Amino acid sequence: MKYAPRSRACPPKPAGRRRGFAPVIDAGTRVLVLGSFPSTASLAARQYYGHPRNQFWPILGAVLNEPLAQLAYRDRLERLLARGVGLWDVYAACRRSGSLDSQILAPQSNDLPGLPRLAPRLRAVAFNGQAAGRFQPLIAALGYACAVLPSTSPAHAARRFEEKLALWNAFIQAWY
């Protein structure tokens, strides 16, 4: 009787609990961009949208007519806040191996019902992709205009940059 050789590959390691970033919001925030959870590259860089191929900074830079992609990270955040735009993620923590939203396990949501307190001038929320967009009913119930926009992630190649830019621009300019 022949036996199949045993695989030498190790089973995948369970993902450790990861924590996301603090919100980039102040009392003057009028438009908030909500992502799902930072990618592995973003967590390593300790920056929102830190993957070098993520199109977030070029898109927001074009929408706001600011050279965001060329600025140091701290300066990017300062420019966003100065323009009334905030950043946050729907999840505060989760387990995930890799960076795909489909791999998010045991997520813990951020305090999204607390947005009126954190950003009293907030009028609109743009969800960066479908995973974050699952929170649209909750945010709309708080009275904010909402749009689920195409993900800026390099994993979302279904739309060209120009198409994403047009959709992001239309929503943000309408509420800016």
Catalytic (active-site) positions: 54
Torsion of CA 108, 46, 156, 101, to 10 degrees: -20
7's tokens: 């695989």
The whole-angstrom separation of Cα 124 and Cα 147 is: 8
Closest to 169 in 3D by CA, of 140, 142, 149: 149
**How many residues comprise the chain?**
176
The whole-angstrom separation of Cα 107 and Cα 94 is: 4
Please give the single-letter amino acid code of residue 83: R
